[in-house]
Structure 1
């Protein structure tokens, strides 16, 4: 069976799609899973064995309408799961003649163009986003949702990391990434709070890295220059494939509700996420999903109520990752 899943939004959304894909592959032997996603998220797909093929959403949408349908048809998908609801993709899948088209009752445009409907209202749900994905597998798999969803991330294909970065990780100190920004996609802890936290982290015990995109590097530059000399600035240096590998090689990561936070959880390292306490942005819906995860929810409309001392207390509980470097 060839199954297409759609998740055309951000890095974290694609990360949280991996458990469903891995579970489907285990439950339906011989299944090929393809994801329709944005170009910049491809590195997430490449590192995981849960997905076999990548269909570039932006390239598909750049084609004339008739070629879009023909392209979709050429992949000979047996089923499509609309994890993200896009009216034009619903119509395209219908015109392409995909046999099983799974959508939700809550989207009226799914009523005529999907032939398998699941009752699902995301905004009102108390379930985690990754668990909501599993609700949409019912027309294909009747098995109960597994308990430890992180067992199905299947991150194995890490890009080689240049020696310079490997040496930065080669220390007896606890290595921790602080990822301050979110591209304005989530609430952000103040840079002043990050600075206070850095002051609490003993440089004899912790090796601290700051990460961020090239765009965020410009925004963070004045702040980074104000930090103590032992803090290592990696902003703008790591394209996504290398960032994933670097995250996998450290002991912990602190961030808001961002893609790197979800990647850290998927890699299985110590992960602390900072969240608002209101739906649908809270940790219950978007919290880090992994074997060593934790979160703090704010008591106000911002993250200002989260103190550096509270974050430091959580980080102190973390244990250094045990790795076989042989």
Structure 2
């Protein structure tokens, strides 16, 4: 198959996009001279541009607003589009733009009429990690390798993010372990609970840790009165950073603790200590969504939780003890 200009399409959230970046590295390994586009939303642009394997970011928000979106696809002269995140509108436009190889999962009804290279697999029923499932979509372009999680980590190809501003740089204490806590998830994941984060802050040795609490401006009102910001080693970053600034800040710190969120996956991909707090319930369990990185790990309270096994609502994630996290940090000689 002739593959020269490829579009990876993933127009959903940050964590999903991070776990799709290894695809770019794998494609470049097999087709080093191809031009690789990544179609995403404005919101995830800074994340996508971290990959040295992505030649050009395509802004889906801007394409939608253009006078002739189909023509925007035609201009690219793409020969292949990989619909990692199924989007009916994009699939229809790719067909109208006459992109020769249109790859998608067989399970989406609209792919039957819009994709001519269909791959059969079920994300919901699979025991594979999300990043491994993504690689199945490379089969039509001749890549059928079964990738280990460690193998996928090697394909991130992240380049150093933009340098941190002097003002933010001064917050980092080089004599301590700089730890980011990201307590909320905007409803995208089961959360550990603010009371648990509060306890963790209180029991982490103040002489060894500088703690930063991150989140959106909207989350600030929920968090501000719940955590011990009066401690001298705790700094609030709530609502103060752009995504690009946040990425640069993560890159200058040592670790991050969060539920299954975008920042957790960013930290893992950047090689930071990334501790994810998870429910064992499928399909949100760490087997599918654990952070991928050389210093990444995932915790659950009870991987055999009966409620979670039955698919019932369960808050067992809140039972993960703060001491377990401290022990994990100490065990890895991170302090």
**Aligned counterpart, 1:5:** 8
Kindly provide the CA deviation profile for residues 114-158 of structure 1, in whole angstroms up to 9, marking residues without a partner as x: 111111111111111111110000111335144321111112141
Per-residue deviation, 1:164: 2.6
Q: What secondary structure sits across from 1:93 in the alignment?
A: helix
CA contact (8 A) 1:50 1:152 kept: no
Q: 1:192 aligns with which of 166, 190, 195?
A: 195
Could you state the TM-score of these two structures normalised by the residue count of structure 1? 0.93
Q: What is the match of residue 123 of structure 2? A: 122
| Aligned positions, number | 319
* SS of residue matched to 1:54: strand
Secondary structure of the structure 1 residue equivalent to 2:74: helix
Q: C-alpha offsets along residues 186-217 of structure 1, whole Å, 9 cap, x if unaligned? A: 11111111111111100011111111122222
Partner of 2:310: none
* Match among 266, 273, 277 for residue 270 of structure 1: 273
Alignment of 1:45-194 (within 5 A): 45-63=48-66, 67-147=68-148, 148-194=151-197
Per the alignment, do residues 226 and 167 of structure 1 end up closer, same or farther by CA in structure 2, a change over 3 Å counting? closer
Scaled by the length of structure 2, the TM-score of the pair is: 0.91
Shift of 1:317: 2.1
- Is the contact between residue 106 and residue 121 of structure 2 (CA under 8 Å) also seen in structure 1? yes
For 1:8 and 1:319, the matched residues in 2 are separated by 38
- Contact 2:136/2:144, CA 8 A, preserved across alignment: no
Structure 1: runs of 5 or more not aligned: 322-326
Deviation at 1:75, TM superposition (A): 1.2
Instruction: Compute the displacement of 1:50 (Å).
Output: 2.2
- Deviating above 4 A after TM superposition, structure 1's stretches of 4 or more consecutive aligned residues are 224-227
Structure-1 separation of matches of 2:318 and 2:173: 34
Cα RMSD between the aligned structures? Answer: 1.7
Q: Is the 8 A contact 2:229 2:236 kept in 1?
A: no
Deviation, 1:47, is: 1.9
Q: For the Cα contact (< 8 Å) 1:224–1:233, is it kept in 2?
A: no
1:229 and 2:232 equivalent? yes
Gaps of 5+ in 2: 308-313
1:207 & 1:141 partners in 2: Cα distance?
A: 48
Note the C-alpha offset of 1:86.
Answer: 1.5
Residue 320 of structure 1, CA deviation: 4.1
Which residue number in structure 1 is paired with residue 331 of structure 2? 317
For the pair 1:212 / 2:226, whether they are aligned, the reply is no
Instruction: State the Cα distance separating 1:229 from its structure 2 match.
Output: 2.7
Deviation at 1:109, TM superposition (A): 2.1
Do the aligned partners of 2:257 and 2:275 also contact (CA within 8 Å) in 1?
yes
Distance 1:69 1:234 in 2: 41
Partner of 2:31: 28
Note the C-alpha offset of 1:2. Answer: 0.8
